[in-house]
Structure 1
Amino acid sequence: MNRDNDIDEIRKKKIKELKEKLEKESMSEGKPIKVTDENFESVINENKMVVIDAWADWCNPCKKLEPVIEELAEEYKGEIVFGKLNVDENGGVARKYGIMSIPTLLFFENGELVNRTVGALPKQQLQNVIEKVTA
């Protein structure tokens, strides 16, 4: 019985390590990563600059913003980590940061919230916000 528990613990640890590895690889590939209540703190604290896209499946403006976020993640690869946080599945972060409307973008620098935008803003406007935050 104890051996089965040990095997389960090893399996859980390996799965967690693989998920973390995949997240780090997607960061270096210039793609948005999946952010959850569980990994949120590590994502914002382990990266100098992070933009979190708070969204939901049913949100049409969120769907319009998705390709823009993907383009920005590619353009700012190696400089800024872009994350996608589904607020329906991760209410803890949404409550903590008072997200009442989506899409909301949260801009973090060194783990600190430095800006936010609400709504499906055009790419150029988001680039202007990024430039201000990183200046």
Structure 2
Amino acid sequence: MVEDKTLDFLIRKKVIELHKSLLKSEGGGKMPTGVIEVDSKEFREILSKYKVVVADFWAEWCMPCRIVSPIIEKLARKYAGRAVFVKVNVDYNQDLAAENGILSIPTIIVYVNGREYERFIGAFPGLEKKLSLLIEQLSS
């Protein structure tokens, strides 16, 4: 069991390192695509760098989070180049969860110019449509 947790930690650490190198190599204002799993430092960097950021605060054990995840991935593909999509695992980033007032998961927060614009809590019918309309409005 301990070995599984260690392996999981090392894999996550490597994924974060790869995302960081991707962000550095993309420079010049080009937006990263897809959904990026971030740590605290990278989260702050992305918020300061891009106009529209959609953050999915989640945990592996959370069933509603698993329902929301494909929606976030679909929207990330649809709005590539117009918004940056990040995932924040609240178990590994408790500081970010506390700073952002995350009391329930999944919580999706849309940031504009580094500030919270709107928040959606839970997996509910119509979430995809509401997020889509909001991103359309903010990124046009």
Same topology, TM > 0.5: yes
Structure 1 counterpart of 2:130, from 114, 118, 125: 125
Q: Quick one: distance in 1 between partners of 2:89 and 2:104? A: 13
Q: In structure 2, give the amino acid aligned to 1:130.
A: I
Q: In structure 1, give the amino acid aligned to 2:131.
A: L
Answer yes or no: is 1:114 the counterpart of 2:117. yes
| Number of the residue aligned with 1:6 | none
Does the residue aligned with 1:42 lie in a helix, a strand or coil? helix
Q: In structure 2, give the amino acid aligned to 1:100.
A: L
Instruction: Assess, with a 3 A threshold, how the Cα gap between structure 1 residues 103 and 17 changes in structure 2: closer, same or farther.
Output: closer
Q: Aligned Cα RMSD in Å?
A: 2.3
Gapped regions of structure 2 (runs ≥ 5): 1-15
Q: In structure 2, give the amino acid aligned to 1:123.
A: E
Deviation for aligned residue 1:91: 0.5
TM-score by length of 2: 0.75
Contact 1:65 1:120 (C-alpha < 8 Å) held by counterparts: yes
Instruction: Assess, with a 3 A threshold, how the Cα gap between structure 1 residues 31 and 18 changes in structure 2: closer, same or farther.
Output: closer
Q: Quick one: distance in 2 between partners of 1:17 and 1:68? A: 25
Aligned length: 119
Answer yes or no: is 1:47 the counterpart of 2:50. yes
Instruction: Assess, with a 3 A threshold, how the Cα gap between structure 1 residues 19 and 70 changes in structure 2: closer, same or farther.
Output: closer
**Pairs within 5 Å for 1:91-102:** 91-102=94-105
Gapped regions of structure 1 (runs ≥ 5): 1-15
Residue identity (%): 39
Q: Quick one: distance in 2 between partners of 1:46 and 1:28? A: 9
